[in-house]
Amino acid sequence: MAASVQVKIVTVSDGVIAGTREDRSGDALAARLAVEGFELVDRRQIADGVESVRDVLIELADGFNGLIVTTGGTGFGPRDLTPEGTALAIERDAPGLAEAMRLCNPNGLGRLSRARAGVRAEALILNTPGSTKGTVETLEAVIDVVPHAVDLLGGGRPH
């Protein structure tokens, strides 16, 4: 079922934008999603910040029925503002997904995640951490229900 799900990845990182860091978490997300049969249709790298996140999510969700995954900016650093930008872009929260993503590592750094999950129009938006391990781990916690959620957002019927 995932083969028909389109995905857009957004790396939120001042370091990646400045060229001082490689986009390893974006690469890890793209690789993991490809294994599941998701079709990568867009990939962006943006600076940290409320407005930058809000604006790119609104743009990417416009007319899109699929998954948008962010990586980075979900922690406690002063520039970790991805959840705040996401809150301004989403129309409905998906707290069960965010909770499941945090619970995937209950004894580790997952407890420090401020990540959000939600919906804008027909797009499902998930925030994941900026580490390669964390981004894949949190995605894996919900990847099995993503195709069904995206189908429902596009007008599909509950099973």
Domain ranges of the chain: 2-153
Of 74, 54, 88, the C-alpha closest to 139 is 74
Position 12 pLDDT exceeds 60: yes
Of 37, 30, 32, the C-alpha closest to 8 is 30
Cβ-in-10-Å burial (0-12, 13-18, 19+) of 150 comes to: buried
What does pLDDT average to over the chain? 93
57 or 107, which is more confident: 57
Tell me the pLDDT band of 71, cut-offs 50, 70 and 90.
very high
Tell me the pLDDT band of 64, cut-offs 50, 70 and 90.
very high
Residue 33, phi-psi category: left (phi > 0), alpha (psi -120 to 50), beta (remainder): alpha
CATH architecture, range 2-153: 3-Layer(aba) Sandwich (3.40)
Position 106 pLDDT exceeds 80: no
Tell me the pLDDT band of 112, cut-offs 50, 70 and 90.
confident
Region 50-78 average pLDDT: 97
Position 108 pLDDT exceeds 80: no
Predicted TM-score of the model (pTM): 0.94
Position 36 pLDDT exceeds 60: yes
Tell me the pLDDT band of 145, cut-offs 50, 70 and 90.
very high
CB 97 within 8 A of CB 115: no
CB 93 within 8 A of CB 133: no
